[in-house]
Amino acid sequence: MTSPLFQPLRIRSLELPNRIVMSPMTRTYSIEGVPGQDVADYYRRRAEGGTGLIVTEGVAIDHVTAVDHANVPNLHTPAAQAGWRKVIDDVHGAGGKIVPQLWHVGPLWGAMTQMDPSLKPMRPSGEWGPLGVTSYSAAYVERAQATTDAMTEQDIEDVIAAYVRSAKHAVELGFDGIAIHGGHGYLLDSFFWEGTNRRDDAWGGDLERRTKFPAAVVAAIREAIGPDLPIIYRFSQHKQQDFTAKIAETPEELGVILGALVDAGVDVLDASIRRFDVPAFEGSDLSLAGWAKKLTGAVTMAVGSVGLGKSLRDSRIEGVAPVVDNIPQLEERIGSGEFDLIAIGRLHLADPALATTLRAGGPLPAFDRAVHEGSLI
């Protein structure tokens, strides 16, 4: 009971009983974009298991090229909205809190499923991005690297409006806040990254101008949903085009980016990295989430390989990730104030009652990709 993991936290109107968050994980079980009873049961089980906050899988915003798989859920069709009402009611009935992660894949449209080539993917400058260390297939990379038209001013207006519509729907349905996917090379992140944003107008150029579009999306959502509900923003250094890429080479550069987001209305900075404890910059042991907190003073959330000995990318290659008890180190970092929340993905798939397991002191579950990613358990 004295563990820092089980201390309460309030973020605007959101009251959390502990610091354990279910990390967003794409599952593609929402047939034609509609979450069914199996999806409701999946999230309800984590709420029953004591997880403090559930961040849903990525949810398509109301834009034609937002996502590239028919079974990724959306928030804008009547059937999907009815499905989400059931999810929310079941999670709330189990005493849980839940927020949707709004998602636009941007340059990575077509990575999950080959899509209609007549539709233009949303790319700041028309580039997919410099190819580096990636897990994408050679066939997809060859298709994706073809340059497309850059986003127009109308495209930018349309995408901002789509984010706002989806955020409004989420609030109307009864979600407890809004999460935004702004990392991993997807649309918002592609504006931060110099490799994909080569614009020379108000939306690109120097680092400050490269923050303008993501900050505009956040500001528009904040205005639309009002002051009560929290906004969580996932950011990353790495890209799926190149796991070694960075949006910030120094803490000062990271401060420019994250400061713009917090000024626009972000409450929680969700620092996505392969391992939660990896130092973000040379000369300091601070993690990416730790730097985010130091630079902005905002609530921050870490993620990456909790209880596991392999990163997500490595475990996808090798299948099974060995159990590693790094919970004491996690507790030490939260207890010291380095960051405030921990998002846990794969162990939540392995054990729906993960929070209860952690409260009892283990044993930690083993993650097997073939078993735990194969169905909604």
Summarize pLDDT for 120-176 with one digit per residue, the tens.
999 999 999 999 999 999 999 999 999 999 999 999 999 999 999 999 999 999 999
Is the per-residue pLDDT at 320 higher than 80? no
Asked if residue 360 is part of any domain, the answer here is yes
pLDDT of residue 370: 85
What's the pLDDT band for 270 if we cut at 50, 70, 90? very high
Q: What is the rounded CA–CA span in Å between residue 11 and residue 13?
A: 6
* DSSP run (H or E) holding 363: none
What pLDDT digit, counting tens, does each position of 38-87 carry? Answer: 999 999 999 999 999 999 999 999 999 999 999 999 999 999 999 999 99
pLDDT of residue 322: 84
Is the per-residue pLDDT at 314 higher than 70? no
Asked if residue 116 is part of any domain, the answer here is yes
Strand 320-321 relative to strand 367-368, pairing: antiparallel
Is the per-residue pLDDT at 114 higher than 90? no
User: Among candidates 284, 273, 269, which has minimal Cα distance to 339?
Assistant: 269
Q: What is the rounded CA–CA span in Å between residue 297 and residue 12?
A: 15
* Helices assigned H by DSSP within the chain: 37-48, 78-93, 138-144, 153-173, 187-192, 207-210, 212-225, 251-264, 288-296, 312-318, 327-335, 346-350, 354-360, 369-372
pLDDT of residue 374: 87
The SS3 assignment for 273 reads: coil
- The answer to whether 258 touches 295, Cβ cutoff 8 Å, is yes
Q: Which domain holds residue 33?
A: 4-372
Residue 146 tokens read as 């073809």
- The answer to whether 69 touches 113, Cβ cutoff 8 Å, is yes
Residue 80 tokens read as 């999907």
pLDDT of residue 318: 57
Round to the nearest angstrom and report the end-to-end CA distance of the chain: 28
The phi, psi pair for 275, rounded to 5°, reads: -135, 130
Asked if residue 307 is part of any domain, the answer here is yes
Is the per-residue pLDDT at 311 higher than 80? no
Is the per-residue pLDDT at 240 higher than 80? yes
Over range 202-224, report the average pLDDT. 98
Asked if residue 173 is part of any domain, the answer here is yes
Q: Which of 127-141, 203-217, 311-325 has the lowest mean pLDDT?
A: 311-325
Indicate the pTM of the whole model.
0.96
Residue 66 neighbours by CB under 8 Å, 6+ apart? 60, 74, 103, 104, 105, 162
Catalytic residues: 186
Is the per-residue pLDDT at 310 higher than 80? no
Average pLDDT, the chain: 95
Asked if residue 377 is part of any domain, the answer here is no
* DSSP run (H or E) holding 101: strand 98-103
- The answer to whether 204 touches 125, Cβ cutoff 8 Å, is yes
Residue 52 tokens read as 């403090």
Over range 170-190, report the average pLDDT. 98
Place of tokens 């906050």: 53
Asked if residue 350 is part of any domain, the answer here is yes
Asked if residue 200 is part of any domain, the answer here is yes
The domain tally of the chain equals: 1
User: Among candidates 33, 49, 61, which has minimal Cα distance to 91?
Assistant: 49
CATH number for the domain including 238?
Answer: 3.20.20.70
Asked if residue 358 is part of any domain, the answer here is yes
